[in-house]
Amino acid sequence: MTLPTLCLGDRKPAAIKYAEAQGLADEWYPGWDPLSIPDLDGIVSPANTIGEMSGGYDLTLRNAYQRQKIAIQPIIQSSIRSTPIFLGDAQAIRVGGDIPWIIVVPTVIGKNDRFGLMQSITPGPDIVSKATYNMMIASLNAGLRRIGTVLLGAGVGGLNYMESVNAMSEGYFRFLDEYQ
C-alpha cells in the first residue's frame, strides 16, 4: 500500500519552514498556493460542515474550478447532503478538472441562520489534529497519490500557524504510525 504524498503550501513562508522543521508533510512549498503545486490529484478544502465556499481558501478553490467550468460547491454540497460530514471528519469527492479530487475537511461548523452568518472560528487544535488524520485516511481510501493542503484552521479559522502545524503534525504522525 502506497501512502499519499502530502504537499503543504502556504503564502506564509515562515509557516511552511516551521512545518518542515516539525516534519509535517512530504513536500513543502513556501509562498505557494497549493493549487500551484505540480501533479496533484487531490486538494484539501478546509471547509465547513455544509460545504459553503464563500470565503477564505474555499473561495479560492471555488474560483479556480469555475475557471475550468466546474461548479464544485453544488457537487460538494450534494455529497454532504447524501453523506453528512461532521467537524474534523474528511470526505474525498471526485469533482473532475486539473485536480480531480477535493478532500473536504471541515474545521468550522457551517450553519445558515436567518442572517446568513456562519461560524468561522476553529474551536481548537484538537479538531485540526482529528481533521488531519481523517484527511489522510480519506485520501488513502480514495487511492490518491499526491494531495495538497494549506494549514488547517490557520486562515479564517483563527489559529496561529504554530498551533496549526503542531495540531496537524499530531494527526499526521498518528496516521503514519498506523499505516506505515
Kindly report the CATH number assigned to the domain that includes residue 130: 3.40.220.10
pLDDT at 64 over 60: yes
Give the per-residue pLDDT at 111: 63
pTM of the model: 0.93
Q: How far apart are CA 171 and CA 174, in angstroms?
A: 5
What is the reported pLDDT for 109? 73
Q: Is position 180 within any domain? A: no
Domain boundaries, position 119: 5-175
Question: Taking Cα atoms as reference points, which of 149, 107, 155, 156 lies closest to residue 127?
Answer: 107
* Domains contained in the chain, number: 1
| pLDDT band at residue 51 using 50, 70 and 90 as cut-offs | confident
